[in-house]
Amino acid sequence: MQTAFSDQLTPKVEMPSVAGQWQKGRLLGSGTFGCVYEATNRHTGALCAMKEVNIIPDDAKSAESLRQLEQEIKFLSQFKHENIVQYYGSDMVSFPL
């Protein structure tokens, strides 16, 4: 399972769905809990950074990734300022094994 901006991760905070709205582009970087890609809004052409995290059910590392992603989403979704990364939304996408 992969998640890019997952609104299913934080049920207490209502997040707008961005499914199909963004086209994933080139890889910008990777870290312990995922990869960051350039993304383009299919409707407006706006550019943003998209974090993608692979989740494996019943996996301790994936559980930690989800926990940290929940904290990141909760933190970033509270702020709207030109010097702070803007959080636009999240989606969870499942892929067949």
Supply the CATH number for residue 46's domain: 3.30.200.20
CB 36 within 8 Å of CB 51: yes
**Which of these, 91, 64, 88, 80, lies nearest to 10 by C-alpha position?**
91
pLDDT higher than threshold 90 for residue 32: no
pLDDT higher than threshold 60 for residue 41: yes
Lowest mean pLDDT of 40-44, 71-75, 88-92, name the range: 88-92
CB 4 within 8 Å of CB 93: yes
**Which of these, 84, 50, 95, 83, lies nearest to 69 by C-alpha position?**
50
Average pLDDT, stretch 29-35?
87
Amino acid 97: pLDDT: 61
pLDDT higher than threshold 80 for residue 34: yes
Letter for the amino acid at 45?
G
Measured CA to CA, the distance from residue 52 to residue 40 in angstroms comes to 15
- Host domain of residue 88: 2-93
How many structural domains compose the chain? 1
Average pLDDT, the chain: 77
Amino acid 95: pLDDT: 67
pLDDT digits (tens, 9 = 90+) for 71-81: 988 988 888 88
The answer to whether 12 is annotated as binding is no
Amino acid 38: pLDDT: 93
- Count CB atoms within 10 A of the CB of residue 19: 13
